[in-house]
Structures are given as structure tokens and as C-alpha cells.
Amino acid sequence: MVKTIDNNGVILIDPEQENKVVAELLFLMNSFVSIKTAETVTTLDKVTQYRMRKAGRFPKLYPITYLGQRKAYKILDLKNWLENPVSYRQSAE
């Protein structure tokens, strides 16, 4: 159960639970996260991510803009990598 706070008729998520709720929503939506966010979560810099991606040992990037100039990871791919980084293999799509 999510704790809420009534702020003058506006229902807000308790700030102590907000991050957990947002994370769950991102997982449910299989959102995209930036390379920078992946650096923070995995502690791997972008060069190491690149090398591991090329070897098929790190999630692939997806274009998220019309021309494909900006790319991001699917959050569930990163979650799967985090659960077992040693045996992770990119899915062939």
C-alpha cells in the first residue's frame, strides 16, 4: 500500500516512497533510460558499455528520436543485466 499525503485537496505520494513508486512505474512501462543513467546504475562508463555491447555482453541501445541521433537502453534490459552480468547475452532482435 502506498502512503499518500493530502495537501490542500491534492493527493501526493509520500516523499519517502516516491522513488520506489516511480521505479515500479518505469519497470511496468519498460521505459528507456539514458547512457548517463546506465553509468550511474551499473557503475560502467560509456566506453566500457560500448565495448561490452559490441561483444554482446551488455544491453543494446535503441534510437529514441526520429533520426536516431539519441539512443537509450530499455530499463528491463538493464535490470536483466544487473541480475546476472556475468552470463548476460544480448537478445537477437
Distance between alpha carbon 18 and the CA centroid of its chain, in Å? Answer: 17
pLDDT digits (tens, 9 = 90+) for 32-63: 999 999 999 899 999 999 999 999 999 999 99
The partner residues of 74 in beta bridges, in order of sequence, read: 32
- The continuous run of DSSP H or E covering 65 comes out as none
Q: pLDDT-based confidence at 5, cuts 50/70/90?
A: confident
The whole-number pLDDT of residue 64 equals 93
pTM above 0.75, yes or no: no
